[in-house]
Structure 1
Amino acid sequence: MPSLTLPTLTSPAPVAKVAEIPAAALRGAFAIGARLRHARVFHPDGLDLAGRLHAEPEFEALFGSGERAVIARLSKGTGTPSGWPDILGLAFRVLDHDDKPWDFALATTGESLVGRLLVTLTRGWGSARYGSLVPYRFGGSNPIWIFAEPDPGQPSSASIADLAEHLRDNLATFRLYASGLGVPRQHIATLALRLAEPAEQRTDYFDPMLNAPQNVVMVPKAIGRIREIAYTGSRRGRGEGA
């Protein structure tokens, strides 16, 4: 049976040049959206978290060994009322093997070949399945998607209030998986999160394009470029720096 092996940490292969994106128009559209709703366009409602990531031994070459410090955010993608179903998000920043920030921005998706490319509405935090939507290339590896599966004890609703209440006495844990085309998923790390303390480091912005190891890229690059422009527009609409 084929298996997913540790990505080779070499320089990424050259990527073909993509067509120029109308950046100003796209950035402006997201800036207007953020101003109208007085919040970020993506995932406006969420909780700031902190915790630890523990990599499986064969993936310590990527994340480093032992417990790695993490800051994170669990959020609702469109901000539906109360516990209504929504596109849920899990974003986190971990220090990589060189102690540099590595950001992940995951949303609820399917895991089939088609489903992993599409965001999906989810009824609750406990039933959510998060995916990277866009695959990664680790050095010269084939495209690999990252997934996160929550522990079943998380709330069955998609309410931020229910999640906050749960986190007052419990950790939110996740098993991180990697999966390529035609190969089974492989457990790469475990993530344990809690509510962040007021004095702890936190961020309102996770950028998987900017904050990643040099030999790790999201493909195709055109998708990443669109994502970067949209995030920039949303920040400017909220009066934040680029």
Structure 2
Amino acid sequence: MKASDLVTVPFQAGAAVRHRRLFHPVGVLAEGTLERLSPPGEGLPVESGPIMGRVSKGIGTPGALPDFAGLAWRMQPAPFAATPWDVLLISAGLGSARATVNRLLLRPVVSWAEAVYSSLMPLRHHGELWWVRARLVTEPEGGGLSLTTIRDGISDGGLAFEVEQACGTGEFIPLARLELNRAVAGEPVSDGEGRDIAFDPVRHTAPDVTLWPDWLRELRELAYRGSRQGRDAH
């Protein structure tokens, strides 16, 4: 067995057993828009435009039970880019958001409004490291961490997220406003029906933007590959 198999095989087997992605197995896929709020050229090269987003539960607990909350979105390819740009965030952090450890610390939540979504890894761009985080600013009706609540919120006027960026250990500043306004997946508790997207922030990124550090990005790439192979086996 190759060294890479030590990472790939467990994720492949786990996805095959579940017949779906190993992490964030259930979620709501939706069309939406992203509006850049930062001045042009400041920070990450995020541009305004249509996006495809997904709100998910990290483990896939049933109903409204607590879980890790996930937020992912795909932006259209930049000019001359080979792929679209995927950003994946998950609920994280306790205490001061400036503390690097809090940007790395996964945190389960009991409601969507409570979640502070973090990139967990900084993005390297033009020699600087940038963190991304987001918060839901239009709370849907209903308690707990139910995906039905998310789907209903999208249908009833849409959901909006405040997206921020921070350079190094600096303060977070506004980056963009993300809105989800039309759910397009199958049942909110499963991606087994309807349209699905395999978000991958390692393979799908913008020119001159990479996850950092390199060794962790490579491990993450192997994990995503294993999960895709496990799902594709069915």
Tell me the TM-score normalised to structure 1 length: 0.82
Tell me, yes or no, if the aligned pair for 2:55 and 2:150 is still in contact at 8 Å. Answer: no
**Does residue 133 of the first structure (1) align with residue 120 of the second (2)?**
yes
**Does residue 54 of the first structure (1) align with residue 48 of the second (2)?**
no
Between the aligned partners of 2:112 and 2:91, the Cα distance in structure 1 is 10
How far residue 97 of structure 1 moved from its aligned partner, in angstroms, is 4.3
Unaligned runs of 5+ in 2: 186-193
Residue aligned with 2:132, SS: strand
Tell me, yes or no, if the aligned pair for 1:59 and 1:188 is still in contact at 8 Å. Answer: no
Q: Is the alpha carbon distance of 1:102 and 1:202 closer, same or farther for their aligned partners in structure 2, counting shifts above 3 Å?
A: farther
Unaligned runs of 5+ in 1: 1-20
Root mean square deviation, CA, Å: 2.2
In the alignment, which residue of structure 2 is the partner of 1:10? none
How far residue 76 of structure 1 moved from its aligned partner, in angstroms, is 0.3
| Equivalent residues in 2 for 1:1-242, closer than 5 Å | 22-59=3-40, 62-64=45-47, 67-95=48-76, 97-98=78-79, 100=81, 101-110=84-93, 111=97, 112-141=99-128, 143-155=129-141, 156-197=143-184, 203-239=196-232
Per-residue deviation, residues 34-93 of structure 1 (Å, max 9, x unmatched): 1222221010010111111111251467233xx401011110000112111100111101
Which AA in structure 1 matches 2:183? A
Q: Using the TM superposition, name which of 189-198 and 37-46 deviates more.
A: 189-198
Between the aligned partners of 1:34 and 1:97, the Cα distance in structure 2 is 31
In the alignment, which residue of structure 1 is the partner of 2:189? none
Residue aligned with 1:161, SS: helix
Tell me, yes or no, if the aligned pair for 2:54 and 2:72 is still in contact at 8 Å. Answer: yes
How far residue 25 of structure 1 moved from its aligned partner, in angstroms, is 2.1
Residue aligned with 1:81, SS: coil
Tell me, yes or no, if the aligned pair for 1:177 and 1:188 is still in contact at 8 Å. Answer: yes
How far residue 208 of structure 1 moved from its aligned partner, in angstroms, is 1.0
Residue aligned with 1:63, SS: coil
Between the aligned partners of 1:153 and 1:195, the Cα distance in structure 2 is 16
Between the aligned partners of 1:54 and 1:215, the Cα distance in structure 2 is 21
How far residue 214 of structure 1 moved from its aligned partner, in angstroms, is 2.2
Q: Is the alpha carbon distance of 1:216 and 1:197 closer, same or farther for their aligned partners in structure 2, counting shifts above 3 Å?
A: same
Identity across matched positions, percent: 31
Residue aligned with 1:166, SS: helix
Residue aligned with 1:187, SS: strand
Q: What is the total number of aligned residue pairs between the two structures?
A: 216
Q: Is the alpha carbon distance of 1:57 and 1:166 closer, same or farther for their aligned partners in structure 2, counting shifts above 3 Å?
A: closer
Which AA in structure 1 matches 2:49? R
Residue aligned with 1:231, SS: helix
Between the aligned partners of 2:175 and 2:131, the Cα distance in structure 1 is 12
Per-residue deviation, residues 171-215 of structure 1 (Å, max 9, x unmatched): 1111110113342111011101123347xx964211111111221
Between the aligned partners of 2:177 and 2:168, the Cα distance in structure 1 is 22
Between the aligned partners of 1:202 and 1:69, the Cα distance in structure 2 is 17
Q: Is the alpha carbon distance of 1:210 and 1:197 closer, same or farther for their aligned partners in structure 2, counting shifts above 3 Å?
A: same
Which AA in structure 1 matches 2:205? A
Between the aligned partners of 1:99 and 1:158, the Cα distance in structure 2 is 39
Q: Is the alpha carbon distance of 1:203 and 1:139 closer, same or farther for their aligned partners in structure 2, counting shifts above 3 Å?
A: farther
